[in-house]
Structure 1
């Protein structure tokens, strides 16, 4: 029987590319609450309709409001994790690893400084070591990381009966707001009618450049000043583009699509030869073209995947010797696969939203 399994990778990537905007129209929000009203550690809500009177009875009044705040931001779904009697944040974060999708937003209601630090460490570690693409919104934490959004307004005034509150009370609503934003829109696009006014930092530009996510008062509306995360330090492989939440969201979508597809449909199923690698590369490049059609990637840029020639060349040196390997041309290196390793690299251009405007009139 002919081997007809391999081409399905093309179909999977084509489907992922075609549905990227739809799938990225809303993300999953994970809210961690401290509550001893009920013993349920984990509950899922898809909308306010799911959060019935019976469900509300399982939480304190404050936590009911926080959950409503998140749902008001219209995420794809809300996962509520409860730290109950005798429970710890560490226990709950281990549940998040099991229950939450690989790409989601996380926040803690009424977090202490220690809990905030622990959440930041958890997200950094999960992204660096476990192929996760979690993002967290926290209050007053200089995390300097593209997956941590650092909200810093000292006070916010809610449009409801809560009135003026400390800034950290806005975290649940902002969690739902960021999770509910589509990939085609920056965080600055919408007025935040949840608030009537906010206490702004002394200097907005200074705060933004310090990696702070801040709200400001604009002609009677409250808006996000810049859709930035806490990343400040750039360097090798870390660019200024990665300071924008929208850019990181698209990066994470692409990473998750490629990683998950390889992991589920390719890994261990096909021989590691140049032909099979070429099929995978072609499928990923076609996926990039689909993203470009939806304006997530720049269609005027050559978005493509290829073999990481430098890495594959280095990996062949222990077996064949440096003198021999350095005589190989690029085509030879592509054909010399090594063990179980597939070393690919890509060159893409993610489109940001239009935010800055300069218009010069000469008379």
Structure 2
């Protein structure tokens, strides 16, 4: 068991660095060289410009400008009728954090959104940035909605061409108090087509660029989640909050799977050791300014879930067990834990009132 606590401490210590090194996937349509499907790049020096069209070389450079730890370029034939399916098949079991598509039509963008929503439903933490999809309503789908862009050098482009730039940016965000994509300035841009109402666009789950006194900036960094329930709160529409949640979920699940699963008897004493290790991990995330130091940030046995598990198999006396009795009656091979934590978001909104006497 001490090994688990050491692993959690190592994960917490490296949390900020790991969060800033996401792996991005960029899907491009290109027939220049059909001898490969996937190309992995770690810097601009890895890029052979003869393998792609000039437009896609520019797209790849834009994605690398965000400094992801790796950029995986997936090449799909330009005449493909199933662009996203072909790209996902080529990726296979390749690990990645963010994915985007440049050059496809609205149907392809919708297909990518649908794929990621399916992965979200399966409990995965992959995220996508898509262009102008109709109401994806997903914590893991970012919906970019700027229609037209004018570059500082005079070039004009439709908004989907900016997907690679944002893909690189979002995959390189650090999950600390000081890091957020909100209000990010893009000096390479001269102007963009504004939304009719910025606040309404944010409320609709759209990410967009806007003109701000001669500077083009990124709007509030939200994903497309707009339906809020008991399990899906408004906080989860923040890209930064979601990134932090995904990191914590992945760390705990991977550590349990690698160092705890099927290695210890399922009894409360062993569960307490696991809970203690998780709480130590949370404490280290407080130190890293990922969790709020004014909040308890504690994990424990999920009393209600464990009680209901016993009731579901006819153990009627479980209905009157005390919390302590529930904890000490572990359920078969299942471990029921929950946690109450507060993840810090970046400071973005500002209100300052001055009273004159």
Q: TM-score, normalised by structure 1?
A: 0.93
Task: Check 1:145–1:204 CA distance in 2 against 1; reply closer, same or farther (3 A cut).
Answer: same
Task: Check 1:318–1:244 CA distance in 2 against 1; reply closer, same or farther (3 A cut).
Answer: closer
Aligned length: 350
Which residue of 243, 248, 256 corresponds with 2:250? 256
Task: Tell me how far 1:37 sits from its aligned partner.
Answer: 2.1
Distance between the aligned counterparts of 1:266 and 1:119, measured in 2?
35
Partner of 1:267: 261
The question of 1:214 aligning with 2:197 is answered no
Partner of 1:277: 271
Task: Check 1:127–1:57 CA distance in 2 against 1; reply closer, same or farther (3 A cut).
Answer: same
Distance between the aligned counterparts of 2:252 and 2:152, measured in 1?
42
Deviations 1:132-161 (A, max 9, x none): 211111111120111111111110112346
Partner of 1:137: 129
Report if the CA contact (8 A) 1:105-1:137 is conserved: yes
Which residue of 349, 355, 360 corresponds with 2:353? 360
Task: Tell me how far 1:189 sits from its aligned partner.
Answer: 4.5
Partner of 1:350: 343
Task: Tell me how far 1:275 sits from its aligned partner.
Answer: 1.4
Distance between the aligned counterparts of 1:68 and 1:61, measured in 2?
11
3-state SS of 2:51 partner: coil
1:31-50 aligned within 5 A:
31-38=26-33, 39-50=35-46
Partner of 2:284: 290
The question of 1:7 aligning with 2:18 is answered no
Task: Tell me how far 1:183 sits from its aligned partner.
Answer: 1.6
Q: Unaligned regions of 5+ residues in structure 2, if any?
A: none
Partner of 2:110: 117
Partner of 2:174: 182
Q: Unaligned regions of 5+ residues in structure 1, if any?
A: 1-5
Partner of 2:303: 309
Deviations 1:75-108 (A, max 9, x none): 121011111377643132134351123xx11001
Distance between the aligned counterparts of 1:96 and 1:315, measured in 2?
39
Report if the CA contact (8 A) 1:188-1:225 is conserved: yes
The question of 1:154 aligning with 2:110 is answered no
Q: TM-score, normalised by structure 2?
A: 0.94
Distance between the aligned counterparts of 2:260 and 2:339, measured in 1?
18
Moved more, 267-276 or 86-95: 86-95
